[in-house]
Chains A and B, each alone.
Chain A
Amino acid sequence: MNTKTVISLLVIISSLLAISYAIADQATGVIPQTGLRNLASFYLENTLNPSNKSYWTASPEATSAIVWDYRGFDTFFETSVFYLAIVGCTLVFELYEPPKSKTTKQTELGLTIIVKVITKIVGILIVCVSASIALHGQLTPGGGFQGGAALAVLPILFIITMSRFALDRKVNDTSMIIIRALGLCGIGITVILPLFLGFITNNNAYIIQNQMKPDALVSLPSTIADKMMGGSLWMLNVSEYIAVGAGFTLAFLLLSLPERSFKKILEEEKYATY
């Protein structure tokens, strides 16, 4: 046994002892209470309560209901933060011009044909699985952001296996910005839709309202063809899915740029006189 093994054994044993001491001595902080808090019992009672529809969300999935209905504004601003991060990313890479002439053949770039074919097959599966995560967001665990993040695995796989230049021919930065803007427009329309409905039916309405409240009798369709749709939840999930998928794709496209494609411009800027 050399010194390295002894040290790693000592580290493992001491961290095990520390963790077990912490757990045994309740040093992990306050033990959470076993009963339900008032807020939790409110959510559990009202999320899917067909007999008392005054605060219900028409969604069997409480997490999605909290994220997009009870705590809708919070999620709205999270989406804005993500949108601003992508805007910052595009601004930083503004210098880049896509390469015009492709001298290298596509077949010579990337990994072998086996990996490329498997990537194409798996790509279809990724689109299906991510769409099901997003579209079932109001029924099962999942939702728009999770679906979009799963969809964003696809461009990474394509960048690794086919090379970035092959992906450049299929999608470009501008189309991704447009698709992302479409997703965000969907969120905006869904958010304002209750106001229009309230205006037409001469009722009170709130922004991001989903189902009717005691003082605002406007509700978005809770079932479509006998399937629970959760009113605004599925619209917001689909819009978020499109926006997040396109946004992540854009970020990965920009981050995978080789440095040499904008290094020259950077050097010119360094010596420029302002």
Chain B
Amino acid sequence: MIDLILTIIGEILIAVGVFCSLVASIGMLRFPNFFVRLHAATVGSMGGSFLPIIGAGLIALGSDFPDKWMFFGGLIVAAIIVMLVSPAGSHALARATHRARVAPVEPKVTDHLKEDEDEKEGEKD
């Protein structure tokens, strides 16, 4: 019984991952500029990789492999690494792009990074 529940939860997570990957790819094509596309890419890596990896781990746990805990552990570690690295990577990308001023910061409400940079430049002068 518990095996069946684990397998179903895993399959649901993989289905959510498929949906997120689809949404992310549509977003990458349709969104107007770099920063908004970065958002779509992060949806793809968190929803499209993190969740399916967890789902695959749960399916492995629900089946009757020999060493299924080893598969589960490996997948969980991989998922944690994806979860940690993907936001940090997109943060570094966004920051570098903002500093290089190669993409327009649109649509925006405020731009604290630019305010900080202006303040620093003001101090230098």
Number of A-B contacts (CB under 8 A): 28
Neighbouring B residues of A114 by C-beta, 8 Å:
88, 91
Q: Which residues of B69-118 are within 8 A (CB) of A?
A: 70, 77, 80-81, 84-85, 87-88, 91-92, 95
CA distance A161 to B92 in the complex (A): 9
Contact B84 A112 (CB under 8 A): no
Among B70, B80, B85, B92, which residue has its beta carbon within 8 angstroms of that of A111? B92
Neighbouring A residues of B91 by C-beta, 8 Å:
112, 114-115
Asked if A122 CB lies within 8 Å of chain B CBs, one says yes
Q: Range of interface residues on chain A?
A: 10 to 19
> In the complex where A122-B85, A125-B81 touch, is A115 in contact with B70 (Cβ < 8 A)?
no
CA distance A115 to B85 in the complex (A): 9
The chain A residue with its CB closest to the CB of B81 is A125
CA distance A112 to B95 in the complex (A): 9
Q: Which residues of B2-34 are within 8 A (CB) of A?
A: none
Q: Which residues of A84-131 are within 8 A (CB) of B?
A: 111-112, 114-115, 118-119, 121-122, 125, 128-129
CA distance A114 to B87 in the complex (A): 10
Q: Which residues of A26-40 are within 8 A (CB) of B?
A: none
Neighbouring A residues of B70 by C-beta, 8 Å:
140
Contact B84 A122 (CB under 8 A): yes
Contact A119 B88 (CB under 8 A): yes
Query: Taking chain B's interface residues, is the majority helix, strand, or loop, or is none over half, making it mixed?
Result: helix
Neighbouring B residues of A140 by C-beta, 8 Å:
70
CA distance A114 to B89 in the complex (A): 10
> In the complex where A111-B95, A112-B95, A140-B70 touch, is A125 in contact with B80 (Cβ < 8 A)?
yes
Candidate in B70, B77, B80, B85 with the most chain A CB atoms within 10 angstroms: B85
Contact A112 B77 (CB under 8 A): no
CA distance A140 to B88 in the complex (A): 31
Neighbouring A residues of B85 by C-beta, 8 Å:
118, 122
The chain B residue with its CB closest to the CB of A111 is B92
CA distance A8 to B36 in the complex (A): 27
Candidate in B81, B88, B95 with the most chain A CB atoms within 10 angstroms: B88
**Could you give 15 example pairs across A and B, Cβ below 8 Å?**
A111-B92, A112-B91, A114-B88, A114-B91, A115-B88, A119-B88, A121-B84, A122-B81, A122-B84, A122-B85, A125-B80, A125-B81, A128-B77, A129-B77, A161-B92
A positions within 8 Å CB-CB of B:
111-112, 114-115, 118-119, 121-122, 125, 128-129, 140, 161
B positions within 8 Å CB-CB of A:
70, 77, 80-81, 84-85, 87-88, 91-92, 95
10 A-B pairs with least C-beta separation: A118-B88, A115-B92, A115-B88, A118-B84, A111-B92, A114-B91, A122-B84, A125-B81, A122-B85, A121-B84
